[in-house]
Amino acid sequence: MRTRNILVVLSSLVLATAVISPQISSASSTDKVLRIAFGSNGTDGKKIWDAAAAQFVKDNPGWKVDFEIQNDDLYETIGLQNLLTSGTAPDVYFEWAGQRLQNKLKAGYAADITSLINSSGLTAEYTPKSFASTTIGGKIYMVPFTSDVTNVIWYNKDIFAKYSIAIPKTWAELLAVSAKLKGLGITPFAVGNKDLWVAGNWNGHLLSRIVGEKSYDQTLSTKSPLNSPAWVKAMGYWSTLQKNGYVNKSANSISDNQGYSLFFTGKYGMLPIGSWIVAIQQQQAAKFHMSWFNLPAVAGGVGNQNSVMGVTTGYIVNAKSQKQAKALEFLKDAFTPTEVTAWQKAGFTPVAKASASGKLDPLSQQMVDLLQSGVTLVAPPDTGYTLKVANALNTATAQVLDGFKSPQAALDQAEAAVKAK
């Protein structure tokens, strides 16, 4: 999740001319307005959406496309839900595969688009396995957009080179690197965790490495308690970062975007975040030199020590929309090989096929290769499981990161929160 000043941009395309609309027109099953909702994905992303809308309008005279673009954190928390229950609900909207997609299906906001996918020809833009994570019970409920690694450790290449720091391969080596950086007057990690999910993902991956994927899944599925002895011991590894002062003291009071900005100042050694940072770095700090390594192995950990935390995102067609066929037509325009190539150049990692000339940024390609390497995938707490459980664990993670509570006390509170009705 991401928080900053709320910014809502409504953009309409009428025929081939882009017009900024002061408000979305009244919803109607008979009007010729296709409404698309998503969180902000930058200036480059907006240009690609505008191009897709222009093509759709050209092919459908008399129609227009309204984009509802919200701040990421607003969208993920209350923004999307408010839109879906409003009088101008979107016909198409962005979501994450996994628990969030299942929630939308249960709530009646996700249409079965299996037949429309096939009849629209959209399947030609994807490989046969592309729809696996967006299929439930043999039916497709989401058009895949990106596959994202949600947590690796990005590092400042200039700092690591200047001080001859080797890439850590174990948790112990990572702590040693952190100690060296701190000794040099450099804060090891820049983190913006105001909305809990940044540290939540990082620690979630660490916990899965220590307790194992089976325990991780069972516990976050409420089949085992969060405050079991094994989990309390595992949380102790996380508390080491706080005890040694390896993370910026402002972590829980600043947003993820502010955390990125800290990293880009060149005064911090590492940043734990997902693959989307590549696009952000290209837009905000193009001359900044960074690379990455996966979470180092934890000695004695039960989990797969090469696991990757990742998730698929995509676009859902609203089950309540009367314009589902048009919605698929628009999405086909948005994910043609030419548009996919544009998404790649903008730093995204789209699932659909690119044109022959399409080529990802090297760092983005490395993220795709990592996801497709056949390693064990671990779901983030807030997209792979219910928000009640995710919020409980992520809150505990933040409390330990702040030194506000011990691992035992934090997980006791988390378990109580999960059990509360």
Higher pLDDT, 330 or 99: 330
What's the CATH number for 9-147+311-371? 3.40.190.10
Consecutive H or E run containing 17: strand 17-20
pLDDT digits (tens, 9 = 90+) for 219-247: 999 999 999 999 999 999 999 999 999 99
Mean pLDDT of the chain: 89
The CA–CA distances, whole Å, from 405 to 34, 89, 102, 167, 241 equal 49, 42, 33, 31, 14
Query: Are 346 and 42 in contact, with CB atoms under 8 Å apart?
Result: yes
- Structure tokens that stand for 47 in this block: 């240009």
pLDDT digits (tens, 9 = 90+) for 39-82: 886 667 889 999 999 999 999 999 999 999 998 878 887 899 99
Mutual angle of helices 171-183 and 229-243, in 10-degree steps = 20
Q: pLDDT-based confidence at 300, cuts 50/70/90? A: very high
Q: pLDDT-based confidence at 355, cuts 50/70/90? A: low
Q: pLDDT-based confidence at 20, cuts 50/70/90? A: very low
What's the CATH number for 148-310+375-419? 3.40.190.10
The CA–CA distances, whole Å, from 147 to 33, 180, 239, 332 equal 29, 34, 30, 18
Determine which of 42-56, 223-237, 294-308, 328-342 has the lowest per-residue pLDDT on average.
42-56
Check pLDDT > 50 for residue 218: yes
Do 9-147+311-371 and 148-310+375-419 share a fold? yes
Q: What is the pLDDT of residue 421?
A: 79
Q: pLDDT-based confidence at 5, cuts 50/70/90? A: very low
Q: Is the dihedral of CA 253, 395, 386, 306 positive or negative?
A: positive
Q: What is the mean pLDDT of residues 370-391?
A: 87
Check pLDDT > 80 for residue 304: yes
Domain spans, the chain = 9-147+311-371, 148-310+375-419
Q: What is the pLDDT of residue 13?
A: 36
